[in-house]
A and B are shown apart, each in its own frame.
Chain A
C-alpha cells in the first residue's frame, strides 16, 4: 500500500513575474489522505490545477500514476476525480441528469451509467432527490453530488478543493464522514483547506502552505514536535492537596509546570507522564478530578510556526 500515486517535484507556477507556487514537492501514497493546508491565496488551488493538467506547469514535474499531466492529461483525468472549490452544476438539470452528462463525457455506456449513478447517489445519500433539479439543492447537497461524481467515476484518486468550505457544522461533519468512507474503499485523497481543525481529523499527513511554498510537511504529531519543541503536555485538575506544583515539578522528565487557574496544572514533559502525575497528586493528599494528554492542534502549530517565522525575520532585521 505504499506506492506513490501523486508525485510533485519542484512544481512552480509563474504568472508574469509573480510566482503563485514556487518549488512545491510532495508525494501522496496510495490509500492515504493528504491535506494541503494554508490560508487563501497560498497556492493550493494552483497546485491542484497543475496536477490535473488544467493549468500549465512553469517549472518542475508532476506525476499522477506515473503519467505527466502536461503530456497525458486524458490518462490523468480518467484516473482522478476532482471536486472543485464551491462546485457548480447545471441548475436546470436534475441531479441524475447532471451525472449522466459527466458519465457520457467519461465514455461510459448506457447500462453502466444507470447502475453507477444509482449506486453513487445512494452512497452519498442523494438517492431520493435524484430526480430533483439541482437548483433546489443546498450547498452541502451540491458538495455531496460532487462526491457522487467521483464515486461514479470510480476514481483511484480524489482531489478535493476546500470540500467543507461554506458548509454548516452538521453538513461538514457528514462530508468528512463520506471522505473517510472513500478512503476506506481504497481511494487516495488529496484535499485542500484553510479550515485547519476540521481537516486535522481526517488527514493522515498534511503540508502547510505559505506564500506558494510548503512550510511544513508530515503527520500532525510530527509537525507538533517540530514546531512546538516536541514533548507532551499533560493537564491535571485536582481538588485539595498541598504543594502539588512542587511535587509535579520534581517528577523525572518534567520540564516545567504552570498553574493557569486554581487547582489546574499544565506540565510540559518529555514523555507521557499521566500515570506518574496521578500518583503524585494522590501522594500530595489531593483528589484527582481530571487528567488529560494535550494533543497539539494544527491551529496551534500553524499560528506558532508563523509567529516564529515572523520573529526570525524581525531578528534578522
Chain B
C-alpha cells in the first residue's frame, strides 16, 4: 500500500524546533560545560607532558589528542566517555517526552508523517553534538597552536578531521540507542536508566567480559582463534570500535587492529608511519560498523515508533 505525499514533509520544521529547544535547554548547557572543561583539562595536561618529553615526532600535533598525564586521561579517552553521555542526554526523552507532555497526538494530527518527527529529532540531536564537537575540536587545535607553537602539517589536519567525523558517527550510535529506548519506554526516567546501564555495560564490562566468553566458546588449544574470537566479541561494543578507530587514525604507526602473524610482517619497517589513506583503510571496518550500528538502531526505533499507539 503506497502512502501519498513525502515522508520528509515537516522534517526541516521539526529539526529547527528541536535544535532551538536543545540550544536553550539547561541540560545542554550543563553538558557543554562538562565536555569543554574536562577536555580542556586533558589537553592542557597533554601539552605539559609533550613539552617535557619533546622528541623528534613527525606527528607532534596528534599527540595533543592521545597523550595522557596522570591523573588525567587523554583527550580521546575523555571523548570516548563523554560523547555517549551527551548523546544519551539529548536522546533519552525524545519520543516519550512528547507522549508525557501530551503533545504527540496533536503534532501528529498535522499533515506530517511520523518519519519526519523521529528523523528530525535525530538530525537535531546529531547537529547539536556536531556543533559542540566542532567547537571543541577548533578549541583544541587553537590551544595547541598557541601553547606548542608548532603549526600542524596537512596530513595531521586531515587525520584530525577524520577523527572528528568518526567521533560524530560514534555519537550517532548512542543517540540512536537513546532514541530507540525513548520509543520503547513510556517513562523518560526508565529510558535514561536503561540506556545508561547499557552504556556502562558495553563500555566498561563487556570489553573485560569478552575474553572470558570467548574462552567458553572456542576450544582452548587454538590460541590464535581464541584471540580473534575475543576481539570480535569485544567489537560488539561501539566503545571498542571507537577506540580502535582512534588508535588507527591518530597513531600513524598502527598497522593493524587485529593479531599480526609473522608472515605478514615480512618487509615491514617497524615503527614507520602508514600513509593517511592506509590508516583509514585499517580503521574502515570499524567506521562502517559504527555507521551501520546507528542505522540499525535508528531503524529499530523507527519501526517501533510506527507501530506505537499515539494515545496517551
Q: Which residues on A are within 8 Å of B, measured CB to CB?
A: 45-46, 49, 52, 54-55, 70-75, 77-78, 80-92, 101-102, 104-107, 146, 149
* B13/A73 in contact, CB under 8 A: no
Asked if A90 meets B111 with Cβ closer than 8 Å, knowing A71-B1, A71-B4, the reply is no
- Chain B residues near A72 (CB, 8 Å)? 3-5
18 new A-B pairs (CB below 8 Å) besides A70-B1, A80-B109, A86-B102? A49-B105, A49-B309, A49-B310, A71-B1, A71-B2, A77-B109, A87-B106, A88-B102, A88-B103, A89-B103, A90-B101, A105-B10, A105-B13, A105-B14, A105-B112, A106-B111, A107-B9, A149-B106
A15's nearest neighbour on chain B, judged by CB, is: B309
* B108/A107 in contact, CB under 8 A: no
The 5 residue pairs across chains A and B that have the minimum distance between CB atoms: A88-B102, A82-B109, A74-B5, A105-B110, A104-B13
Q: How far is the CA of A83 from the CA of B3 in the complex (A)?
A: 24
Asked if B200 is at the interface of the complex by the 8 Å CB criterion, the answer is: no
- Chain A residues near B110 (CB, 8 Å)? 77, 102, 105-106
Q: How far is the CA of A83 from the CA of B101 in the complex (A)?
A: 14
**A interface footprint on B25-43 (CB within 8 Å = 1, 0 otherwise):** 0000000000000000000
- Chain A residues near B102 (CB, 8 Å)? 84, 86-88
- Chain B residues near A82 (CB, 8 Å)? 105-106, 109
Asked if B24 is at the interface of the complex by the 8 Å CB criterion, the answer is: yes
- Chain B residues near A105 (CB, 8 Å)? 10, 13-14, 107, 110-112
Q: Which residues on B are within 8 Å of A, measured CB to CB?
A: 1-5, 9-10, 13-14, 17, 21, 24, 101-103, 105-113, 309-312
Main secondary structure on A side of the interface with B: mixed
Specify which of B17, B103, B111 lies most central, judged by the most chain A CB atoms within 10 Å of its CB.
Answer: B111
Report the tally of A-B residue pairs with Cβ distances under 8 A.
Answer: 90
Closest chain-A Cβ to B253's Cβ sits at a distance in Å of 50
- Chain B residues near A85 (CB, 8 Å)? 312
Partner of B9, one of A74, A75, A84: A74
* B10/A54 in contact, CB under 8 A: no
- Chain B residues near A146 (CB, 8 Å)? 106
